[in-house]
């Protein structure tokens, strides 16, 4: 476009433009997701809201009061046209009012969600970072030694772990470490005998209970990292500028840094994207190890017919992904000078 | 006219290509025996899915004297909570699992390839609209969406399950096929065919699709694994009613009914379907790896 | 600019062979090449793609990439010794310090994530340059000398530079450590005509100002005609003819050189006079193992070409390897016996024009 040719100065404008575009797209996505979640809750067989409303009226509540009560519970009106209900639901969302939880009576959905979210962070965040670091290092190794036995072995281990679904890994690890060699606890976040707080016993128990969820998550994502890093390094190794640096007599350590930096660049974007799974990435792990994060809460809300909570959890999980998508793209603009200046990529 | 005159040549050239292709397949297979194993594993599962259930009576026999029995000659993987042979459950359950995988793969590939081809071929407005939609689909997380969806639609039959998974899963294939189409266009493929006076259907059906067929086939295999994981996972989580016997139901009952993660009794019951999933994955990974090398000469080791 | 009093070094390539490991065994990409780069001259190596000219250029830095390797021969550089026997840090330091290598313009020879200036500093650190500000100053003056805004270029990333600018940056990086031998691989490929002319002028001028020994690898006879003092023609991994540029182009002795010249269409005269060489150049796998590599496409092919290695004839400052030429010179000594290596002349050939 007109931006080409004046590098440097246009950088800021390009970034702002991208940011605006992404935010707009993100908002549209959130709108779509909330609409889906509205339609699903509205169309649940047996219409739980209408049922509740009728029950309240039967119990002698006035229709207005009953309507009010249902609205508080589910976040939207049980009567009125679909369109009115939709607008009402969206208005509630705009105030961050997600309704009331049934399973934890008297508590707002947002409060319940927040308390669950912190537990989801542990397996996903720790697992992602652990697997990222290990996968990157081994990926470089697998690329350099790709003609040898060890490189082959690393690549195969990567594809196998990458191919196996999370719950299979979780079940296998669980079967080994809680049933066959019972050295790790089978579920929960910490033993109840310890007082929550900053004491050694509680923290030790916390770590012990988090081990299986974190390790499972790390193993499940490790394969992706090692494969991605390997192929990225192989690509960079074939680039002309690496040979050029060699022919200029550059030190090996400097060439290695050139390779590493160029190869890891696309991986950072994937890292940002995978952090979007912060809330929804460990559903199986949480279910299997009975870890009370958002995933477990989503399942419990479905089996317990707590639809307001379900809608809220789904929304939170999705919004995290949308935000991560935007962040990943912005990150790319920040770390890659080619995109930053709006040059060739424009 | 030009088209008809060049066709015979083109046909003989393509049949020669095909011969070379099968020779290439054979060479790749021969070099790594593990790939042969992959093909054998997949054939084995196909056999199991088609003929397996015929080997057993409609209602599997129960041995009420042997609940959660340990592995023995009679029950290689033990029995479940009702005393049913676990191996029989795995074999009879495979049909559901594989049928779902097949339905999903077909829908994914047909929808994905169709939309991708259309978008890449038409370009312009259609392309951007379709790709926006695809991006949105790719953004919404699949598993949570499936879970939420299960509250209004109990998609428990194999066909329904395959339909749901297929309808939710075509985004990736559509993106990939579109970019392939665009890159073929860029190489002047389409313009050249136009210049020869070939019709659009001919270009898409005879020129574009065949050149992408291997790629699509690979995606289809990957879609099968994805579908197997997803449905087993959904049943395992227990959000859908259990109607037919399948591996996911087995996992659920083993873990949450039999307490396989706390006692050893139900362990064989848990491990048998897991083993089946791992074996199927292994087979598909090996075959995809072989296909990758056949179709991507760049990856061939020197 | 630092014009050193050091005399330009010479390079003697003797009996150099490079093989590539393939599934069909080791195949020669360069075979038995003898070439001298006379101090202070520009030598042009011309050949079609696959003739082994780029491999030859890489051999000058002992940098043939695997699966290739130098299987025999030597590359003697004044003040450095035989490059082929150099290893490890000695070899690394020779690259850049003694021999500068300039990549093809179309290739991306710069790290896309770092500015030119930062890569210059990396280069300086690699070669233990103590005076880094001095290095930057030298680089800037070189860039200024080549008609660019040096300070700005050092502050730029690769993608912010045009092809011609990248090429000049490449030349700067090859010269900034004061290398006196420069190898340019296809320096003008993928550049537009005007930029081509500018780059060639710059190469010629810098060559003279700094007192360099320069090797230019190209497929373009026009480039060689414009800047090279001496010309070597490569075909199928062999040097088939070499000599002073004007003499070789004026009266080519090898049928391949003649064919190349005839293939060039002229602006003046009949377009039909331009005749492309029949057939295709050989690839690594199709180079005939015995006899003359060019015989398949040769207009004056004889029986002996099938089996006998063409004799290498030294005619004044010129060298040509051809049976037909040999037959014309000494008609009586044309027996079918294998011409021995004795006829090969490796002695230095005096270039008549000194820069």
pLDDT value of position A346: 30
SS3 per-residue string spanning chain A: CCCCCCCCCCHHHHHHHHHHHHHHHHHHHHHHHHHHHHHHHHCCCCCHHHHHHHHHHHCCCCHHHHHHHHHHHHCCCCCCCHHHHHHHHHHHHHCCCCCECCCCCCCEHHHHHHHHHHHHHHHHHHHHHHHHHHHHHHHHHHHHCCCCHHHHHHHHHHHHHHHCCHHHHHHHHHHHHHHHCCCCCCCCCCCCCCCCCCCHHHHHHHHHHHHHHHHHHHHHHHHHHHHHHHHHHHHHHCCHHHHHHHHCCCCHHHHHHHHHHHHHHHHHHHHHHHHHHHCCCCHHHHHHCCCCCHHHHHHHHHHCCCHHHHHHHHHHHHHHHHHHHHHHHHHHHHHCHHHHCCCCCC
pLDDT value of position B168: 87
Checking phi first, is residue C217 left (phi over 0); if not, alpha (psi -120 to 50) or beta? Answer: beta
Between B144, B255, B282, which is nearest A171 by CB? B255
Q: Which DSSP state fits C271? A: G
Q: Is the pLDDT of residue C214 over 90?
A: yes
The span from the CA of C117 to the CA of C122, in Å, is 9
What is the residue whose two structure tokens read 């670091």? A133
Q: Which residues contact B140 (CB under 8 A, 6 or more apart)?
A: A32, A33, A36, A318, A321
User: Is B238 near chain A, with CB under 8 Å?
Assistant: yes
Determine, for residues A32 and B284 on separate chains, whether the beta-carbon distance falls below 8 Å. no
**Cβ pairs A/C, distance under 8 A:** 80
Is residue C218 situated within a structural domain?
yes
Partners of A322 on chain B (C-beta within 8 Å) are: 139
Domains of chain A (ranges; CATH) run 7-44+98-340 (1.10.3720.10)
pLDDT category of residue A16 using cuts at 50, 70 and 90: confident
Max avg pLDDT among A85-89, A271-275, A279-283, C129-133: C129-133
Is residue C111 situated within a structural domain?
yes
Is B247 in contact with B93 (CB distance < 8 Å)? Answer: yes
Tokens representing residue B76 in the block: 């290689």
CA distance B20 to chain C (A): 18
Q: Is the pLDDT of residue A75 over 80?
A: no
Q: Which residues contact B23 (CB under 8 A, 6 or more apart)?
A: none
Is residue C318 situated within a structural domain?
no
**Domain locations along chain B:** 1-29, 32-301
Q: Which of B221, B282, B300, B215 is nearest to B28 (CA)?
A: B300
The CA angle A99-A101-A106, to the nearest 5 degrees, is: 95
pLDDT value of position C352: 39
pLDDT value of position B297: 54
Cis peptide before C236 (omega within 30 of 0): no
Q: Is the pLDDT of residue C349 over 70?
A: no
Determine, for residues B281 and A164 on separate chains, whether the beta-carbon distance falls below 8 Å. yes
The span from the CA of A336 to the CA of A334, in Å, is 6
CA distance A105 to chain C (A): 55
Average pLDDT, chain A: 81
Partners of B238 on chain A (C-beta within 8 Å) are: 299, 303
The span from the CA of B55 to the CA of B42, in Å, is 19
ipTM, two decimals: 0.83
Write out the H or E segment, with its range, that includes residue B289.
helix B267-295
Ordered alpha helix ranges (H), C221-277: 221-227, 245-250, 255-262
The span from the CA of C34 to the CA of C59, in Å, is 13
Checking phi first, is residue C96 left (phi over 0); if not, alpha (psi -120 to 50) or beta? Answer: left
Tokens representing residue A243 in the block: 């040979």
Q: Is the pLDDT of residue A40 over 90?
A: no
Interfacial B residues in 144-173 facing A (CB < 8 Å)? 144-145, 147-152
pLDDT value of position C270: 65
pLDDT value of position C348: 42
What is the residue whose two structure tokens read 């579109």? B178
Q: Which residues of C touch B (CB under 8 A)?
A: 22-23, 67
User: Is B278 near chain A, with CB under 8 Å?
Assistant: yes
CA B58, B64, B69, B72 dihedral sign is negative
Range of the domain at C67: 11-250
The span from the CA of C33 to the CA of C13, in Å, is 7
CA distance A265 to chain C (A): 10
The span from the CA of B65 to the CA of B63, in Å, is 5
Is residue C201 situated within a structural domain?
yes
SS3 B200: helix
Cα–Cα separations (whole angstroms), residue C161 to A6, C53, C148: 11, 28, 11
Write the CATH number for C39: 3.40.50.300
Partners of B297 on chain C (C-beta within 8 Å) are: none
Is C10 in contact with C78 (CB distance < 8 Å)? Answer: yes
Partners of B145 on chain A (C-beta within 8 Å) are: 36, 314
Partners of B164 on chain A (C-beta within 8 Å) are: none
User: Is A258 near chain C, with CB under 8 Å?
Assistant: yes
A136 vs B31, higher pLDDT: A136
Partners of B227 on chain A (C-beta within 8 Å) are: none
Q: Is the pLDDT of residue C155 over 50?
A: yes
Between A243, A246, A343, which is nearest C159 by CB? A343
Is residue C32 situated within a structural domain?
yes
Q: How would you write the pLDDT of chain B (302 residues) with one tens digit per residue?
A: 344 444 444 555 556 666 676 777 777 777 777 778 888 998 898 888 888 877 887 777 777 676 666 777 667 777 777 777 778 888 888 888 889 989 999 999 999 988 888 888 877 888 888 888 888 888 888 888 888 888 888 888 888 888 999 988 888 888 888 888 888 877 777 777 777 777 777 877 777 777 788 888 888 888 888 888 888 999 999 888 887 788 888 888 888 877 777 777 778 888 888 899 888 888 887 888 777 777 765 544 43
The CA angle A264-C153-C214, to the nearest 5 degrees, is: 95
Is residue C299 situated within a structural domain?
no
Between C108, C113, C122, which is nearest A254 by CB? C122
Q: Which of A270, A299, A282, A314 is nearest to A123 (CA)?
A: A282
CA distance C60 to chain B (A): 26
The span from the CA of A240 to the CA of C104, in Å, is 10
- pLDDT, mean of residues A58-77: 71
**Cβ pairs A/B, distance under 8 A:** 115
B28 vs A303, higher pLDDT: A303
Q: Which of A338, A329, A271, A345 is nearest to A19 (CA)?
A: A329
Q: What are phi and psi of B84, to 5 degrees?
A: -85, 145
Tokens representing residue A96 in the block: 């961050």
Is residue C348 situated within a structural domain?
no
Any chains having at least 3 CB pairs less than 8 A from chain C are: A, B
- pLDDT, mean of residues A283-309: 88
pLDDT category of residue A77 using cuts at 50, 70 and 90: low
Q: Which residues contact B14 (CB under 8 A, 6 or more apart)?
A: none
Second CATH level (architecture) for the domain B32-301:
Orthogonal Bundle (1.10)
Ordered alpha helix ranges (H), C146-192: 150-154, 163-175
Tokens representing residue C314 in the block: 């030294």
C326 vs B8, higher pLDDT: C326
Partners of A209 on chain B (C-beta within 8 Å) are: none
The pLDDT > 70 percentage for chain A reads 88
pLDDT value of position A4: 36
Count of domains observed in chain C: 1
Is residue C1 situated within a structural domain?
no
- pLDDT, mean of residues A184-201: 77
SS3 C78: coil
Chain B residue with Cα closest to A173: B261
Tokens representing residue B245 in the block: 């016997």
Is A306 in contact with A32 (CB distance < 8 Å)? Answer: no
Determine, for residues A171 and B261 on separate chains, whether the beta-carbon distance falls below 8 Å. yes
The span from the CA of C216 to the CA of C218, in Å, is 6
User: Is B143 near chain A, with CB under 8 Å?
Assistant: yes
C136-149 burial, b at 16+ Cβ within 10 Å, e below that, comes to bebbbebbebbebe
Q: Is the pLDDT of residue C293 over 90?
A: no
Q: Is B210 exposed, middle or buried (0-12, 13-18, 19+ CB in 10 A)?
A: exposed
Is C68 in contact with C55 (CB distance < 8 Å)? Answer: yes
Comparing A309-313, B209-213, C87-91, C269-273, the range with the smallest average pLDDT is C269-273
Partners of B302 on chain C (C-beta within 8 Å) are: 22-23, 67
What is the Cα Rg of chain A in Å? 25
Q: Is B36 exposed, middle or buried (0-12, 13-18, 19+ CB in 10 A)?
A: middle
Tokens representing residue B288 in the block: 């995809």
pLDDT value of position C269: 61
Tokens representing residue A251 in the block: 């030190």
The span from the CA of A232 to the CA of A13, in Å, is 30
CA distance C180 to chain A (A): 14
Write out the H or E segment, with its range, that includes residue C75.
strand C68-77
The span from the CA of C13 to the CA of C30, in Å, is 12
pLDDT category of residue A341 using cuts at 50, 70 and 90: low
SS3 C215: strand
The span from the CA of A318 to the CA of A29, in Å, is 9
């Amino acid at each position: 476009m007109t931006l080409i040719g004046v590098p440097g100065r246009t950088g800021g404008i390009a970034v702002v433009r991208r940011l605006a575009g992404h935010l707009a797209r993100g908002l549209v996505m959130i709108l779509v997701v909330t609409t889906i979640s509205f339609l699903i809750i509205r169309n649940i067989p047996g219409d739980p809201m209408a049922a509740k409303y009728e029950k309240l009226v039967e119990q002698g509540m006035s229709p207005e009061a009953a309507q009010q009560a249902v609205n508080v519970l589910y976040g939207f009106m049980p009567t009125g046209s679909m369109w009115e209900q939709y607008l009402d639901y969206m208005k509630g969302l705009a105030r961050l009012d997600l309704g009331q939880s049934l399973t934890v009576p008297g508590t707002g959905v947002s409060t319940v969600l927040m308390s669950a979210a912190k537990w989801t962070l542990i397996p996903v965040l720790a697992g992602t970072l652990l697997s990222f670091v290990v996968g990157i290092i081994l990926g470089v190794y697998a690329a350099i030694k790709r003609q040898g036995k060890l490189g082959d072995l690393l690549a195969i281990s990567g594809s196998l772990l990458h191919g196996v679904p999370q719950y299979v890994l979780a079940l296998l690890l669980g079967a080994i470490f809680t049933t066959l060699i019972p050295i790790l606890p089978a579920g929960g976040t910490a033993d109840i005998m310890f007082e929550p707080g900053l004491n050694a016993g509680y923290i030790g128990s916390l770590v012990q209970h988090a081990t299986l969820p974190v390790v499972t998550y790390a193993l499940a994502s490790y394969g992706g990292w090692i494969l991605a890093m390997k192929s990225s390094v192989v690509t960079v190794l074939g680039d002309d500028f690496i040979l050029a640096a060699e022919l200029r007599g550059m030190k090996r350590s400097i060439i290695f840094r050139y390779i590493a930096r160029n190869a890891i660049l696309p991986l950072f974007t994937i890292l940002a994207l995978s952090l979007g799974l912060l809330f929804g990435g460990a559903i199986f792990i949480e279910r299997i190890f009975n870890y009370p994060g958002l995933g477990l809460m989503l399942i419990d809300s479905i089996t317990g017919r707590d639809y307001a909570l379900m809608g809220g959890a789904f929304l939170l999980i999705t919004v995290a992904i949308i935000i991560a998508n935007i962040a990943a793209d912005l990150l790319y603009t920040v770390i890659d000078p080619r995109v930053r200046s709006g040059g060739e990529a424009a | 006219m030009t088209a008809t005159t060049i066709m015979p040549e083109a046909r003989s050239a393509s049949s020669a290509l095909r011969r070379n292709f099968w020779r290439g397949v054979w060479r790749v297979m021969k070099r790594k025996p593990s790939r042969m194993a992959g093909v054998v594993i997949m054939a084995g599962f196909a056999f199991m899915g088609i003929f397996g259930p015929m080997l057993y009576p409609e209602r599997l026999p129960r041995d009420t004297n042997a609940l959660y029995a340990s592995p023995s000659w009679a029950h290689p993987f033990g029995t479940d909570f009702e005393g049913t042979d676990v191996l029989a459950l795995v074999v009879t359950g495979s049909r559901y699992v594989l049928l779902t995988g097949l339905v999903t793969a077909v829908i994914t590939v047909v929808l994905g390839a169709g939309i991708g081809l259309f978008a890449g071929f038409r370009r312009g407005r259609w392309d951007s609209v379709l790709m926006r939609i695809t991006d949105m689909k790719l953004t919404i997380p699949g598993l949570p969406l499936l879970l939420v969806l299960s509250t209004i639609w109990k998609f428990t039959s194999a066909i329904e399950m395959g339909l749901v998974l297929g309808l939710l899963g075509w985004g990736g294939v559509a993106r990939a096929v579109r970019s392939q189409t665009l890159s073929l266009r860029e190489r002047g493929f389409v313009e050249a065919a136009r210049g020869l006076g070939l019709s659009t259907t001919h270009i898409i059906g005879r020129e574009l699709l065949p050149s992408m067929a291997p790629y699509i086939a690979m995606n289809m295999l990957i879609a099968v694994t994805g579908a197997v994981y997803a449905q087993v996972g959904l049943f395992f989580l227990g959000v859908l009613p259990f109607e037919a016997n399948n591996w996911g139901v087995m996992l659920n009952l083993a873990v949450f009914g039999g307490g396989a993660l706390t006692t050893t009794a139900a362990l064989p019951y848990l491990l048998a379907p897991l083993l089946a999933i791992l074996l199927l994955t292994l087979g598909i990974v090996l075959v995809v790896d072989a296909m990758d090398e056949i179709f991507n000469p760049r990856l061939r080791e020197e | 600019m630092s014009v050193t009093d050091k005399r330009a070094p010479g390079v003697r390539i003797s009996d150099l062979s490079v093989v590539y490991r393939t599934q069909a065994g080791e195949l020669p990409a360069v075979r038995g090449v003898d070439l001298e780069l006379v101090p202070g001259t520009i030598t042009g190596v011309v050949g079609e793609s696959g003739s082994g000219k780029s491999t030859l250029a890489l051999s000058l830095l002992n940098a043939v990439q695997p699966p290739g390797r130098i299987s025999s021969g030597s590359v003697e550089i004044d003040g450095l010794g035989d490059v082929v026997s150099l290893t490890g840090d000695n070899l690394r330091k020779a690259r850049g310090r003694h021999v500068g290598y300039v990549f093809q313009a179309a290739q991306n020879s710069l790290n896309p994530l770092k500015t030119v200036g930062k890569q210059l500093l990396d280069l300086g650190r690699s070669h233990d340059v103590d005076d880094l500000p001095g290095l930057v100053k030298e680089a800037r003056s070189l860039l200024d000398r080549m008609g660019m805004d040096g300070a700005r270029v050092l502050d730029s990333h690769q993608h912010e530079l045009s092809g011609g600018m990248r090429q000049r940056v490449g030349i700067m990086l090859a010269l900034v450590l004061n290398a006196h031998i420069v190898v340019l691989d296809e320096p003008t490929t993928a550049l537009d005509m005007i930029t081509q002319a500018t780059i060639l002028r710059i190469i010629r001028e810098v060559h003279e100002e700094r007192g360099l020994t320069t090797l230019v690898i190209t497929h373009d006879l026009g480039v060689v005609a414009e800047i090279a003092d001496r010309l070597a023609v490569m075909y199928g991994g062999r040097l088939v003819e070499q000599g002073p540029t004007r003499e070789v182009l004026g009266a080519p002795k090898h049928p391949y050189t003649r064919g190349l010249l005839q293939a060039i269409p002229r602006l003046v005269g009949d377009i039909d006079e331009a005749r492309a060489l029949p057939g295709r150049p050989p690839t690594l796998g199709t180079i005939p193992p015995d006899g003359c590599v060019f015989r398949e496409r040769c207009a004056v092919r004889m029986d002996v070409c099938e089996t006998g290695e063409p004799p290498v004839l030294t005619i004044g400052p010129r060298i040509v390897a051809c049976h037909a030429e040999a037959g014309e010179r000494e008609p009586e000594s044309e027996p079918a016996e294998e011409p021995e290596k004795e006829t090969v002349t490796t002695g230095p050939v005096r270039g008549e024009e000194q820069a």
